[in-house]
Structure 1
Amino acid sequence: MELDLTWILLGLPAAFALGWIASRLDLRQMRIANRQAPRAYFKGLNYLLNEQQDKAIDAFIEAVQNDPDTSELHFALGNLFRRRGEYDRAVRVHEHLLSRADLSSADRQRAQHGLALDFLKAGLLDRAEEALRKLEGTSYEGQSRLARLAIYERSREWPEAERVARLLENSGEAKFDVRMAHYQCEQAREAIQQGDAAKALLILTAAVKATPEAARPRILLGQVQLSQGKAQQAFETLSVLFEQAHVAAPLAAASLAKAAQSASLVKPAIQLLESHYEKQPCIDVLEAITALEESMPEGATASPQRYLRHLDKQSSLMAATRWLTQESSDAHPLPATVQKALEQAIRPLARYRCAACGFEAKEHFWHCPGCQAWDSYSPRRIEEL
């Protein structure tokens, strides 16, 4: 069979023409898609800037549908879902990103970090911890460790918190020595609650040695020593705070007074407390001095004039109430109604206040139960701030 050259000559131009038409149609479809995707993307940005998050999410979903391989749109969508509290949808977006084989290493780390934040915001601490652990050795390592530290503090996993804080300090993120001392104190408190005072003493002794500038381990160590009948040791442990004129010394004043009474060191304790009081007048230190003077042999009683002299240094309703109580006698007693009114008036002033969130409490907290801040409570009462 012979080939007809005429058909070949006619077919080649026709094939070329059809190919050209097909390519133009493909280019047209591509241009239409490219125009639609940016339009939806910029529409979403406009809604986002106008704080119309519902419409922004719809626009971003449309953009993702037009171009499902665009990772940046997925990240934007995941962040929007998390901000709106739709954590399950945010999780699905980030898990979809992680399932893609073509995702770059940097984007994979970013998606893993986003997933961890989703779980953290949703309160799923176990899953958040697991997701954060996978960020070890990545550019998000420091952030993931800080997040894990917050998780361990919330769940009161103090040994784990101490370990992560040590990693952060070794990596140069920040100084965590005082924070680690708090973790050791929390472990010591748990040991005391379990009846293991020996373990508590070991933990606190190590904490005082490792962080001598921290007041809490020393105060707690002195209190444990006192409860163990080691009054002399307790006095020596607590005396350091007053010799150094530490700002937290007033918190140890009552314990120091008890230790001095048990160890027959009342006069040295009074001298130590008076020396500190002259530098930093404080009602707690003054009351410790008064308690020690009242415990001395007959003939040596606490002078009400101490509270009166305190009023020259500081205007204090608490000191005024104590002075009135001591000045009253059997012949001229303070009426019960007046005493009750004064006690009610000074009760709010005798509280401690968190400098971070304003939470007030009868006792001093090292870890605020309101905002979870450390060392945010002043060692002085509200009246003295």
Structure 2
Amino acid sequence: MEFELWWLLALPITFGLGWLASRLDLRQWRRESELKRDAPLSYFRGLNFLLSEQQDKAIDAFIEAVTADPNTVDLHFALGNLFRRRGEYERAVRVHQNLLARGDLPSAERQRAQIALAQDFFKAGLLDRAESVYTALATSPYQSEALAALLQIHERTKEWPRAIDIAGQLERLGAGSYGRQIAHYWCEVAMQCQQSHDLTGALDALDKAVRVHPQAVRPWQLRAGIAQQQGDAAQALEHLRHIAQIQPDFTALAALDMARLFRETGQAQAGRDWLLAKLQDYPAIDLLDAVLQLEADASERYHLALTYLQTHKSLLAARRVLDQTSTALSPEPARLALAQALDGALKNRQRYRCAACGFEARNYTWHCPACQGWETYPPRRTEELQLLAV
């Protein structure tokens, strides 16, 4: 009888424990269901705000979604990207660092969070931190992206030997041809050597620039500068004339220096004829100016400028004709008024324009400060390019 009594007591106890466990499971299930239901609603609401370009509301919705389900990794990335786009780099860094602090994050998602964190640092201007993260990713599936970012960092910090090494790695990975950029990096090395009075090192760097990109113009221009520094005007002239052989369009950039060197070496007449031949084949206002500098006869200078204006009807050419007009043909008050009118019209038309991004510069530059492109400026001013396009 005693055994049967305990058996009867065990039945209701077991039933009660089972009922209690089911209630707890049901409550947990309901909580999880609510979280799973709320998170997608917040997520889709955030997407809707994002598509409507309401970024503030989108961020609030994504924060709500992340709070409801902290394990949703993609929501963290979406939120971090939104912060970065808005320029809130500290908040973006915090989101991605929180992801990396999770011990259960899979390897692929960890690398994804690292690349996102590196982008945050880069955008925030924390280049040393960005460099350390990108360097750690240089052997990951994000290798190409990491190396491309490291190349930008080394350009900005003017660490040209490192930039040369990274560009070579990208080329070997099949990411494209970097010969032109590497040639410019060697030119930058040469300029640093020249500033420290290491002409041997500068010439060696320029030799490497020519080897990596035989059509490069800039190394010959820098070689000419070193030759002039050493007092060898004839050698400097030969270096500049070589530019006309490899890239004739760029002769205009060196034309005025060539005119001066022709005069210094006693070749004014021969130089005038040589430059005039180049002017006929590759018309440019700088070439015309060089020819006019070497022409001794005033009436012939006027004739040359007028002929150029007749074939290349530009304000720049008109200004050159006016410069060569004698006071007998045009009284001084009239010439002054015309000159002022032309100068006003030419104020924004004598710039060089980047072919990649359209940024304009007063002087020719090999590196665009806006898009960071190398050799993206045509060697003619904007008005000349517009005339050629007609």
- Give the TM-score range, shorter chain: 0.7 to 0.9
Deviation at 1:104, TM superposition (A): 1.0
Q: Structure 1 stretch 117-126 or stretch 21-30: which is displaced more? A: 21-30
Residue 375 of structure 2 corresponds to residue 354 of structure 1: no
Q: 5+ unaligned residues in a row in structure 2: which ranges?
A: 386-390
Q: Given that residues 99 and 113 in structure 2 are in contact (C-alpha distance below 8 angstroms), is that contact kept between their aligned partners in structure 1?
A: yes
The 3 A distance-change label for structure 1 pair 190 and 330 is: farther
Counterpart among 55, 63, 66 of residue 64 in structure 1: 66
Q: Structure 1 stretch 319-328 or stretch 160-169: which is displaced more? A: 319-328
Q: Distance in 1 between matches of 2:224 and 2:118?
A: 42
Q: Structure 1 stretch 338-347 or stretch 143-152: which is displaced more? A: 338-347
Q: What's the counterpart of residue 323 of structure 1? A: 321
Q: What's the counterpart of residue 225 of structure 1? A: 227
Q: Secondary structure at the match of 1:322?
A: helix
Q: Secondary structure at the match of 2:248?
A: coil
Q: 5+ unaligned residues in a row in structure 1: which ranges?
A: none
Q: What's the counterpart of residue 147 of structure 2? A: 145
Q: Secondary structure at the match of 2:97?
A: helix
CA RMSD in angstroms comes to 2.8
Residues 157-204 of structure 1: per-residue CA shift (max 9 Å, x gap): 222222211211121111111111111222222333333333322222
Residues 45-101 of structure 1: per-residue CA shift (max 9 Å, x gap): 323322343343333333333433332232222222223332222212211221222
TM-score calculated relative to the size of structure 1: 0.87
Q: Distance in 2 between matches of 1:210 and 1:80?
A: 41
Q: Given that residues 42 and 65 in structure 2 are in contact (C-alpha distance below 8 angstroms), is that contact kept between their aligned partners in structure 1?
A: no
Structural mapping, 1:91-170, within 5 Å: 91-170=93-172
Which amino acid letter does the alignment assign opposite residue 153 of structure 1? E
Q: What's the counterpart of residue 74 of structure 1? A: 76
Residues 348-380 of structure 1: per-residue CA shift (max 9 Å, x gap): 433322334444333101112344332232211
Which amino acid letter does the alignment assign opposite residue 343 of structure 2? Q
Structural mapping, 1:366-381, within 5 Å: 366-381=366-381
Q: Secondary structure at the match of 2:295?
A: helix
Q: Structure 1 stretch 174-183 or stretch 73-82: which is displaced more? A: 73-82
Q: Secondary structure at the match of 1:247?
A: helix
Q: What's the counterpart of residue 263 of structure 2? A: 261
Deviation at 1:347, TM superposition (A): 4.8
Percent identity (aligned) = 45
Q: What's the counterpart of residue 388 of structure 2? A: none
Residues 76-131 of structure 1: per-residue CA shift (max 9 Å, x gap): 22222223332222212211221222211100100101111111122211111111
Q: Given that residues 183 and 209 in structure 2 are in contact (C-alpha distance below 8 angstroms), is that contact kept between their aligned partners in structure 1?
A: yes
Q: Secondary structure at the match of 1:181?
A: helix
Q: Distance in 1 between matches of 2:376 and 2:278?
A: 23
Q: Secondary structure at the match of 2:365?
A: coil
Q: Secondary structure at the match of 2:375?
A: coil
Q: Secondary structure at the match of 2:249?
A: coil
Which amino acid letter does the alignment assign opposite residue 305 of structure 1? H
Which amino acid letter does the alignment assign opposite residue 195 of structure 2? Q
Which amino acid letter does the alignment assign opposite residue 255 of structure 2? A
The 3 A distance-change label for structure 1 pair 123 and 313 is: same
Which amino acid letter does the alignment assign opposite residue 18 of structure 1? L
Q: Structure 1 stretch 35-44 or stretch 165-174: which is displaced more? A: 35-44
Q: Structure 1 stretch 71-80 or stretch 17-26: which is displaced more? A: 17-26
Residues 122-154 of structure 1: per-residue CA shift (max 9 Å, x gap): 221111111111111111111111112222222
Residues 244-263 of structure 1: per-residue CA shift (max 9 Å, x gap): 45322211112222333333
Deviation at 1:314, TM superposition (A): 0.3
Q: What's the counterpart of residue 34 of structure 1? A: 33
Q: Distance in 2 between matches of 1:208 and 1:195?
A: 21
Q: What's the counterpart of residue 365 of structure 2? A: 365
Q: Given that residues 171 and 178 in structure 2 are in contact (C-alpha distance below 8 angstroms), is that contact kept between their aligned partners in structure 1?
A: yes
Q: Distance in 2 between matches of 1:203 and 1:40?
A: 59
Q: Given that residues 309 and 321 in structure 2 are in contact (C-alpha distance below 8 angstroms), is that contact kept between their aligned partners in structure 1?
A: no
Residue 7 of structure 2 corresponds to residue 19 of structure 1: no
Deviation at 1:220, TM superposition (A): 2.0
Deviation at 1:329, TM superposition (A): 5.6
Which amino acid letter does the alignment assign opposite residue 318 of structure 1? L
Which amino acid letter does the alignment assign opposite residue 35 of structure 2? Q
Q: Given that residues 43 and 56 in structure 1 are in contact (C-alpha distance below 8 angstroms), is that contact kept between their aligned partners in structure 2?
A: no
Q: Distance in 1 between matches of 2:70 and 2:3?
A: 50
The 3 A distance-change label for structure 1 pair 98 and 306 is: same
The 3 A distance-change label for structure 1 pair 363 and 53 is: closer
Counterpart among 273, 290, 310 of residue 308 in structure 2: 310
Which amino acid letter does the alignment assign opposite residue 40 of structure 2? Y
Q: Structure 1 stretch 358-367 or stretch 168-177: which is displaced more? A: 358-367
Q: Distance in 2 between matches of 1:327 and 1:176?
A: 49
Residues 317-373 of structure 1: per-residue CA shift (max 9 Å, x gap): 333332333331689764473475267344543332233444433310111234433
Number of aligned residues: 380
